[in-house]
Structure 1
């Protein structure tokens, strides 16, 4: 029930966006959902290609998709959260077709989403730090150039 509440809250948040922005966020979360489900199905049927822990690989995949799809940091987080919860629902539906039980919104899911959110926060901090230094270093270089000219 918590997963339904979580998905409903995110959908309510997305509904407050402008129409075109909401459509793009929903489309982006659909892409993340498909990637989430494909990753889990590949990991289930062919686990050999998992070269490091599943949580880390999935978090990096979702972050890479979010960074490619959006420049806004809030939208990135929203599409990761909404796409992953939709992916959980679809993955559970697919596994249920084959009589495999799967708990939606389990602690393992929440661990992975927390890891993805933390890594996304670290990436956003890195982006902010680089733009900050670029702005101030370029400003100092321009001042040095003006001093050399005079």
Structure 2
């Protein structure tokens, strides 16, 4: 009897004897493969989302901004109220990317990931630090779902 290459399922020829054990074995292999596939899919794309807003103070430099979440953030995006700039932070990076569409500015911003559930950052200007005085900023954080 021949078998498939991927899962070793039975491939009967016209002259092969068909046995119940072969069917049961094939069904067990299919069941295991489907369970593995379902488990893998359950881990893909799952995350918790937290969002909020804050008002800028106008401070910058070593006077850092910070955000704290209910779990460990994988990514954080901050946008200003006019949606003219974005600050993009990815877990374990030491720099964030600040993009200003109105000023055509791209700047690297210094990051520090807190051990459990936060991030802080600073830049040379309040604008690049996403902290311009009295401006509203909105953030969204993607947190690991398994926490």
- Normalising to structure 2: TM-score of the pair? 0.28
Whichever of the two has the greater Rg, that structure is: 2
Structure ranking higher in helix proportion: 1
